[in-house]
A and B are shown apart, each in its own frame.
Chain A
Amino acid sequence: MHQSTPLQLFLAEVGQIARFAGKFLLQWFKPRYEFAEFIRQCFIIGYQSLPLVGLTGFIMGLVLTLQLRPSMVDYGVESQLPAIVGIAIVREIGPVITALIFAGKIGSRIGAELGSMKVTEQIDAMEVSGTNPFKYLVVTRVLAAICMLPVLAILSDAISLYGAYLGVNIKGSTSFRLFWMLVVDNLAFNDVLPAFIKTFFFGFAVGVIGCYKGYNSKKGTEGVGQSANSAVVISSVVIFIIDLLAVQITDFLGFN
């Protein structure tokens, strides 16, 4: 039997994920629509992730402000701290950190859930009963991830900015109105829109990879754990790759 090299295995994995993503793109707009399941997944994926994402966002804003403050004071631009923190959170840190937390929570959840369904042959049973498991399980979850991650990222930005406001006021004194004006005055559409758009791709990546890993889970319960783990790892790496591509594209289009 032919022994595949790691590179061949990697390329084969990439190809299979691409085919899985292509299958999703073909399936998602075809009837029958599993709207109720989509809403349920939105609630689980989006709403139930808010506390974790909100908490990490708040800490991130607070810590970032406290870490930046000494350097800003050294350069004599302490008054620009809200502007710098605002740009950093809205452009990069908010979307990326939220996507990574999202990958850790939702990617592993989807991988484990679909993996356990796979190894317990529930997916096969759905096919036998006439239900399209791909549409019911995969399309709803991926769409929910695509729709919910941008909302989570936006709310995370808001909570992070509030954390930054508290961080500014720990050692200084700035009114919320002034803080907010300084943040908004230094933001442009070029800062907000590319960051917002890339979160749709982050959600797509997390949903597709989590579903792929769970949907193709093998080796029983051990495979479920592997699926959950590899879903998180690969999603996180892909998030950074998409971020890299996004910054190159926005730079190329002249948005930076």
Chain B
Amino acid sequence: MIKESINNIKLGAFVLAGLIFIILLLYLIGKNQHLFGASFILKVRVDNVQGLRPGNNVRYAGIDVGTVKKLNIINDQMIEIEMVIDQKVQSIIKKNATVSIKTDGLVGNKVLEIVGAKIPALPVKNGDLLTPKKSIDTDEMLRTLSKTNNDLAFITDNLKITVTRINNSKALWNLLNDETIPQHVKQSAKNIQDITNKANNMANHLQIMVQNIQSGKGTLGKIIADTVIAANLNSTILSIQLISKHADSLTQQLSRTIQGIEKSIINGPGAIHALFNDTVFSNHINNSLQNIQNGTDGFNQNMEALKHNFLFRGYFNKLEKEKRKLNK
């Protein structure tokens, strides 16, 4: 009888151990899926759930705060994801938070990630609809990676060709093996240093000059700093402006006069019009000038004859003598 009691106790402990383990396991699984404790519902609408399933985790700042409860097809372009979120984080998640579908690791399960916005907003309420955010798809990543690989292969090929050319270049290797080049480079560096020092000195002098000018020393400084000169310069400029105005009016008057003259030349009744436009008048003038030329020649001959006349020869000789005296 005692043995039977002991056996019963052992059996009871055995069964209890099994029950406790299964209850604990189910409780922990349920806790992970937020089936126990207070929770609330959040929703988000996306065009593609990317393999997300009910039971997948929902994360906020990397912490599991809930699970996907249900996927409802709204229409052919939109699917509504319903999430069960732990009540404890309701005050933390704001209405302007965004939701994206991500993968846990490279080949892991899909997870929904809630990302809070930096702009302040009210906390979410039960049944609120959050804004979806398009996440980088694994396929898209692989496509980009494939393109990068192709580019890298192209670059590597080109690099290989370049390195081969460099290896085969005798001129380059001669250049590299030339021991005088480092000395030249060293000398060049020294020269550059000297030039730099000189440039520094020049800059210093220039700075002193600028300071002198600013402080009103020297001619340029006085010009810049002296207010009397500036006033004189100003009045001079005003005078030049006034003269320019007068010159303008003069130019206009002159222009008008020239236009009048031009008009009178072209259309006027005077002699100038006739001189420029009347060919008969012109011929008369030419003839008259020819006659004057002929008359002047005749007069010169008469005068030469008069010089040799005995009556006037003494007078002309006297003039010659006085002329010679003056030249001496």
Q: A-side interface residues toward B, CB under 8 Å?
A: 39-40, 42-43, 46-47, 50, 77, 90, 150-152, 154-155, 157-158, 184-185, 187-190, 192-193, 196
* Cβ-defined contact, A47 with B28, below 8 A: no
Q: Which partner residue on chain A sits nearest B23 by CB separation? A: A154
| Residue B30 lies at the interface, judged by CB distance under 8 Å to chain A | yes
Q: Which partner residue on chain B sits nearest A36 by CB separation? A: B4
- Pick the interface stretch among B13-21, B120-128, B158-166: B13-21
Contact of B29 among A154, A155, A157, A192 (CB under 8 A): A192
Q: Which partner residue on chain B sits nearest A150 by CB separation? A: B18
User: Which B residues, 17 to 59, have Cβ-Cβ distances below 8 Å to chain A?
Assistant: 17-19, 21-22, 25-26, 28-30, 32-33, 55
Task: Name the A residues within 8 Å of B17 (CB-CB).
Answer: 151, 155
Task: Name the A residues within 8 Å of B21 (CB-CB).
Answer: 154-155, 157-158
Q: Which partner residue on chain B sits nearest A158 by CB separation? A: B21
Task: Name the A residues within 8 Å of B200 (CB-CB).
Answer: none
* Cβ-defined contact, A188 with B8, below 8 A: no
* Cβ-defined contact, B29 with A188, below 8 A: yes
* Cβ-defined contact, B8 with A43, below 8 A: yes
Q: Which partner residue on chain A sits nearest B108 by CB separation? A: A80
Distance in Å from the Cβ of A166 to the closest Cβ of chain B?
Answer: 18
* Cβ-defined contact, B18 with A42, below 8 A: no
| Residue B11 lies at the interface, judged by CB distance under 8 Å to chain A | yes
* Cβ-defined contact, A151 with B19, below 8 A: yes
Contact of A184 among B4, B7, B25, B55 (CB under 8 A): B25
Q: Which partner residue on chain A sits nearest B67 by CB separation? A: A188
Complex formed: what's the CA distance from A188 to B28 in Å?
Answer: 10
Complex formed: what's the CA distance from A46 to B29 in Å?
Answer: 26
* Cβ-defined contact, A189 with B11, below 8 A: no
* Cβ-defined contact, B29 with A47, below 8 A: no
* Cβ-defined contact, A43 with B10, below 8 A: yes
Complex formed: what's the CA distance from A43 to B29 in Å?
Answer: 30
Q: Is the interface of B mostly helix, strand, loop or mixed?
A: helix
Complex formed: what's the CA distance from A145 to B119 in Å?
Answer: 63
Task: Name the B residues within 8 Å of A189 (CB-CB).
Answer: 26, 29-30, 33
Q: A151-B19, A185-B32, A192-B26 are in contact. Are A42 and B55 (CB under 8 A)?
A: no
* Cβ-defined contact, A151 with B14, below 8 A: yes
* Cβ-defined contact, B19 with A39, below 8 A: no
Complex formed: what's the CA distance from A142 to B32 in Å?
Answer: 36
Interchain residue pairs with CB less than 8 A apart (16): A39-B8, A40-B4, A43-B11, A46-B14, A90-B25, A150-B18, A151-B15, A152-B18, A155-B17, A155-B18, A158-B21, A184-B25, A189-B30, A189-B33, A192-B25, A192-B26
Instruction: Give per-residue flags for B66-107: 1 if the beta carbon is below 8 A from chain A beta carbons, else 0.
Output: 000000000000000000000000000000000000000001
Task: Name the A residues within 8 Å of B7 (CB-CB).
Answer: 40, 43, 47
Task: Name the A residues within 8 Å of B19 (CB-CB).
Answer: 151, 154
Contact of B14 among A47, A188, A190, A196 (CB under 8 A): A47
The 6 A-B residue pairs with the shortest CB-CB distance, nearest first, are: A151-B18, A154-B18, A43-B11, A184-B28, A47-B14, A43-B7
* Cβ-defined contact, B18 with A47, below 8 A: no
Task: Name the B residues within 8 Å of A154 (CB-CB).
Answer: 18-19, 21-22, 25
Complex formed: what's the CA distance from A187 to B55 in Å?
Answer: 11
Task: Name the A residues within 8 Å of B22 (CB-CB).
Answer: 154, 192, 196
Complex formed: what's the CA distance from A1 to B200 in Å?
Answer: 129
Q: A188-B33, A192-B26, A196-B22 are in contact. Are A39 and B11 (CB under 8 A)?
A: yes
Distance in Å from the Cβ of B15 to the closest Cβ of chain A?
Answer: 6
Distance in Å from the Cβ of B8 to the closest Cβ of chain A?
Answer: 6
Complex formed: what's the CA distance from A192 to B33 in Å?
Answer: 14
Complex formed: what's the CA distance from A151 to B21 in Å?
Answer: 9
Distance in Å from the Cβ of A106 to the closest Cβ of chain B?
Answer: 15
Task: Name the B residues within 8 Å of A157 (CB-CB).
Answer: 21
Distance in Å from the Cβ of A238 to the closest Cβ of chain B?
Answer: 23
* Cβ-defined contact, B11 with A42, below 8 A: yes
Task: Name the A residues within 8 Å of B107 (CB-CB).
Answer: 77
Q: Which partner residue on chain A sits nearest B14 by CB separation? A: A47
Distance in Å from the Cβ of B263 to the closest Cβ of chain A?
Answer: 104
Q: Which partner residue on chain B sits nearest A49 by CB separation? A: B14
Q: Which partner residue on chain B sits nearest A153 by CB separation? A: B18
Distance in Å from the Cβ of A142 to the closest Cβ of chain B?
Answer: 17
Complex formed: what's the CA distance from A39 to B14 in Å?
Answer: 12
Most buried by A among B4, B11, B19, B107: B11
Task: Name the A residues within 8 Å of B29 (CB-CB).
Answer: 184, 187-189, 192
